[in-house]
């Protein structure tokens, strides 16, 4: 029997993240409509929320937990496009008609996902031009993020890419202490490799080199960054 | 003295492309306002419209001609991100506040570019929710295009990438005949390499291999595709 837990985010009107999430940052009758057109789903770790190539059933917002977005080649190679945390819109490209998922979405931790009916959400936008403009700006920024991501693969060496990835994970999911940053994600070596776009062997070797150089410590799957300045120089940021 | 030619697209109300360009597909008082907030610039071939890293002065639409968008690494490596033709929005990410150009834009042919004041355009959007939704959908699709572009660099070999690029150029800029497609762009070998993300030497070698395999013919800078089906199989589409 599936164990039923209470909702992690009980409802939108009391959600602390709402003001930070463009899609949900609405009030009054818009919020009442929003509550009607969303469905909340809960996932255990390592479950699949949706698959690359499938038709989008709506707009997906991550209310709590962490998910990874992966993309596969026809030969079965896999790449982790991004890891998302609470309050992020899972796929930002799905406003088009009959959009297909660009990535596969899997949970890394217990997660709560909200699926919003796209057509009815577009109707909310139609009546709320300020929301429309914020969404245009959000999507507009996303194009820049993707361009930076592309640079990693066109211009950088494996060593630079791994250093850049570790810094990004530290920035987004790190627990900062006086002189070190503990990456608050327990990723398999394989996942680190799939994020940096390098082989597992190279990832293991380079993590060893970084450890020997005193840049980080490795404790099982926990990575602690000791020298972000040096990592930043290696990454050629 | 600079030679002054008449505008290639005289004004928006008679422009044949307007219905195809989301940004310009407006009418009535919106169009009158649009004519007021745009400035039209003309460029000779191989001139720079704007530089990567500079502050965006507005929204750029290519009214006529062709431009290439390039991106450079800190080490000076360069990659052609995309070639655009008439009616395309040059950078789709510039709706954000204080946006910087993600790419450098250079003309390949005589070109006419329209620069639209962003703040005043956002005001037009505010009063036209249908336009807002079309823009949201346009930006949304762009994220998918970028994801496909990323696949080229993460999953594909040089041979597959070059084959994919030639097919794309044939689709977008090709003159189709019964049994062949002439790519309607005269690109230097260096530019082909920068688009495929491979070295010039590899580009020259692989073009020679494709020619010897009967897939295409080369006549100076003109490339004619003889066997798109085979190219498509090579590209693993």
**From CA A135, how far away is CA A92, in angstroms rounded?**
10
| pLDDT score at B81 | 86
Query: A103-130 pLDDT, tens per residue?
Result: 999 999 999 999 999 889 999 999 999 8
Q: Is A26 exposed, middle or buried (0-12, 13-18, 19+ CB in 10 A)?
A: buried
Whether residue A207 is contained in a domain is answered as yes
CATH label of the domain that carries residue A215: 1.10.10.10
| Residue B183 sits in the same domain as residue B84 | no
Q: Which residues of B touch A155 (CB under 8 A)?
A: 73, 75, 77, 79
Q: Cβ(A113)–Cβ(A90) under 8 Å?
A: yes
| Residue A186 sits in the same domain as residue A213 | yes
**Rounded average pLDDT per 10-residue block, chain B, 237 residues:** 59 85 88 90 94 91 93 82 90 81 92 92 91 89 74 81 91 88 87 88 94 93 92 86
What is the rounded end-to-end Cα distance, in angstroms, of chain A? 50
Q: Which of B110, B132, B154 is the last residue of a domain?
A: B154
| Residue B117 sits in the same domain as residue B175 | no
Whether residue A137 is contained in a domain is answered as yes
**From CA B78, how far away is CA B96, in angstroms rounded?**
25
| pLDDT score at B203 | 93
Q: How many domains does chain B have?
A: 2
Does the beta carbon of B70 lie under 8 angstroms from any beta carbon of chain A? no
Whether residue A34 is contained in a domain is answered as yes
| Residue A29 sits in the same domain as residue A141 | yes
| Residue B147 sits in the same domain as residue B181 | no
Whether residue B140 is contained in a domain is answered as yes
Q: How many CB atoms lie within 10 A of CB A41?
A: 13
| pLDDT score at B4 | 55
Q: Which residue's structure tokens are 């509550």?
A: A35
| pLDDT score at B79 | 85
What's the rounded mean pLDDT across residues A82-95? 87
Q: Which of A96, A130, A154 is the last residue of a domain?
A: A154
Query: A45-80 pLDDT, tens per residue?
Result: 999 999 998 988 899 999 999 999 998 887 777 888
Q: Give the tokens for residue B2.
A: 């600079």
Q: How many CB atoms lie within 10 A of CB B36?
A: 9
| Residue B166 sits in the same domain as residue B201 | yes
Q: Which helix (H) or strand (E) holds B63?
A: strand B59-64
Does the beta carbon of A54 lie under 8 angstroms from any beta carbon of chain B? no
Q: How many CB atoms lie within 10 A of CB A70?
A: 17
Whether residue A105 is contained in a domain is answered as yes
**Bridge partners (DSSP) listed for residue B113:** B41, B62
Interface of A with B in 130-169 (CB under 8 A): 130, 132-133, 135-137, 139-144, 146-147, 149-151, 153-156
pLDDT band at A6 (very low <50, low <70, confident <90, very high): very low
Whether residue A144 is contained in a domain is answered as yes
Within 13 Å and on the Cβ side, how many CA atoms surround A6? 3
Q: Cβ(B225)–Cβ(B171) under 8 Å?
A: no
Does the beta carbon of B76 lie under 8 angstroms from any beta carbon of chain A? no
Q: Which domain holds residue B144?
A: 14-154
| Residue A103 sits in the same domain as residue A174 | no
| Residue A31 sits in the same domain as residue A95 | yes
Whether residue B4 is contained in a domain is answered as no
Q: Which residues of B touch A96 (CB under 8 A)?
A: 137, 140-141, 144
Whether residue B5 is contained in a domain is answered as no
Q: Which of B154, B176, B205 is the last residue of a domain?
A: B154
Q: Give the tokens for residue B81.
A: 């991100």
| Residue A171 sits in the same domain as residue A126 | no
| Residue A96 sits in the same domain as residue A147 | yes
Asked whether the beta carbons of residue A95 and residue B155 sit closer than 8 angstroms, the reply is no
Query: A157-203 pLDDT, tens per residue?
Result: 889 989 999 998 998 888 988 889 999 788 889 999 988 888 899 99
Does the beta carbon of A125 lie under 8 angstroms from any beta carbon of chain B? yes
| Residue B100 sits in the same domain as residue B177 | no
| Residue B100 sits in the same domain as residue B20 | yes
């Amino acid at each position: 029997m599936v164990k039923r837990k209470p909702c992690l985010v009980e409802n939108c009107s009391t959600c602390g993240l709402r003001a930070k999430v463009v899609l949900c940052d609405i009030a009054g009758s818009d919020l009442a409509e929003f509550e009607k057109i969303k469905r909340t789903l809960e996932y255990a770790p390592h479950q699949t929320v949706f698959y690359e190539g499938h038709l989008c059933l709506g707009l997906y917002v991550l209310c709590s937990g962490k998910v990874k977005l992966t993309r596969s080649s026809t030969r079965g190679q896999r790449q982790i496009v991004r890891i998302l945390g609470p309050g992020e819109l899972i796929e930002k490209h799905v406003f088009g008609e009959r959009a297909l998922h660009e990535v596969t979405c899997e949970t890394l931790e217990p997660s709560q996902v909200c699926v919003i009916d796209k057509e009815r959400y577009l109707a909310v936008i139609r009546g709320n031009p300020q929301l429309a403009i914020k969404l245009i700006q959000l999507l507009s920024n996303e194009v820049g993020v993707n361009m930076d991501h592309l640079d990693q693969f066109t211009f950088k060496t494996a060593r630079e890419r791994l250093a850049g990835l570790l810094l990004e994970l530290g920035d987004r999911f790190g627990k900062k202490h006086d002189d070190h940053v503990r990456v608050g994600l327990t990723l398999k070596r394989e996942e680190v490799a799939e994020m940096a776009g390098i082989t597992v062997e190279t990832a293991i070797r380079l993590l060893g080199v970084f450890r020997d150089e005193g840049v980080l410590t490795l404790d099982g799957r926990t990575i602690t960054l000791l020298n972000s300045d040096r990592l930043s120089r290696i990454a050629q940021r």
